[in-house]
Chain A
Amino acid sequence: MTTATITSNITTASICRFFAEYASYMLGCGATCIRIDRNMERMARTIDATIDMTILPSHILITMTDNHTGETSHHSSSIARIPVNYDMNTRLSKLSWLVAEHRLDLSEAAGVFRHIIHSKPMNPWAVMGLVVLANASFCRLFGGDFNAMGIVSFATLIGYSLKNILLGRHTDIKLTFLACSFISATIGCAGHLFGLSSTADIALGTSVLYLIPGIPYINSVSDLLDGHYLCSFSRFAHATVLTACIALGLTGGILLMRLNVF
């Protein structure tokens, strides 16, 4: 297997910085630690270097050692605060394969990386439509009737719009989840209040499902199995806090509407 060496115009420090940013965006967009490990190792092997990663709750520390010269470089990067984006995740992973197959060198890879992280996300209205359909489908899966699906669709539409607006204005995510779950739960109570559905409990329960942080929970289990305990507990704690906010909002909506569901 042929490997390139670090050329003089690309320093170890600049490569280390690229790897730190790459790992930061991979973590931010929802990749598991094992995926980041493998991608970084794959790219580092092409330049005969060794990468060591320390993943902290808000930062990532990269140490890169050039096996040829023994030169080391360290770089710390804060984890990118971006929404979970599996399209970005896939494209960044594909980038690591392009580097590993010598179809791109690292300086070209850095340019492609910039292009990927600055590319436009999917149309938010299209995403909202899909989320509404998905949540209504969950309601049906749990045995809700068509009226309950309508209530859940409306609750998701309003709640998700509010979530987009609040997150767009950089409101604290915990407060956003609390507010959105309260509004969605209140709308979800329409089945009980106005007698619109025979499965009003299912409409109420599924009205906040779109907020559940499933990916952090799944990723925390994956990280736990791979031995990244700190990252695993950090993701689990974050997901638990968000779930608590959802529960508080749901409880607030139920108590305000004076429903006897407890």
Chain B
Amino acid sequence: MISIKLIWIIIVGASIFGILAYLFYTEMLAMNHRGHHRFIEIDHSETFCDDDDCDDYE
């Protein structure tokens, strides 16, 4: 009987922990997206090419 109660506590505890952890994780993700926005500067005049292709553009 004690082992069954233990199993119950483990299952319910794991469910609660999992739900709270997921909610915390999604909240952290949302905060990170809201916070530090960085704009990546792209210079469109530059040509990017692989090593193999560079010869064709030179």
Total A-B residue contacts, Cβ distance less than 8 Å: 28
CA of A71 to CA of B7, assembled, Å: 67
Residue B29 lies at the interface, judged by CB distance under 8 Å to chain A: no
CB <8 Å contact, B4 and A194:
no
- B11 to A, closest residue via Cβ: A186
Which residues from chain A contact B4 at a C-beta distance below 8 Å?
Answer: 193, 257-258
With both chains docked as a complex, state the minimum distance between the C-beta of A251 and any C-beta of chain B, in angstroms.
15
Which residues from chain A contact B7 at a C-beta distance below 8 Å?
Answer: 256-257
Residue B19 lies at the interface, judged by CB distance under 8 Å to chain A: yes
Residue B12 lies at the interface, judged by CB distance under 8 Å to chain A: yes
8 nearest CB pairs, A to B: A161-B19, A183-B15, A186-B11, A158-B15, A258-B4, A165-B22, A193-B5, A187-B12
With both chains docked as a complex, state the minimum distance between the C-beta of B7 and any C-beta of chain A, in angstroms.
7
Which residues from chain B contact A187 at a C-beta distance below 8 Å?
Answer: 12
CB <8 Å contact, A158 and B12:
yes
Question: How would you classify the secondary structure of chain B's contact residues: helix, strand, loop or mixed?
Answer: helix
With both chains docked as a complex, state the minimum distance between the C-beta of B8 and any C-beta of chain A, in angstroms.
6
Cβ 8 A contact of B5, one of A158, A165, A194, A256: A194
Which residues from chain A contact B28 at a C-beta distance below 8 Å?
Answer: none
Which residues from chain B contact A186 at a C-beta distance below 8 Å?
Answer: 8, 11-12
- Per-position contact with B for A162-179: 1 when CB-CB < 8 Å, else 0? 100100000000000000
Which residues from chain A contact B12 at a C-beta distance below 8 Å?
Answer: 158, 183, 186-187
Which residues from chain A contact B5 at a C-beta distance below 8 Å?
Answer: 193-194
CA of A158 to CA of B11, assembled, Å: 12
Which residues from chain B contact A158 at a C-beta distance below 8 Å?
Answer: 12, 15-16, 19
Which residues from chain B contact A239 at a C-beta distance below 8 Å?
Answer: none
CB <8 Å contact, B19 and A162:
yes
Cβ 8 A contact of B8, one of A161, A162, A165, A189: A189
Given contacts A158-B15, A187-B12, A194-B5, 8 further A-B contacts (CB under 8 A): A161-B19, A162-B15, A162-B19, A183-B15, A186-B8, A186-B12, A193-B8, A258-B4
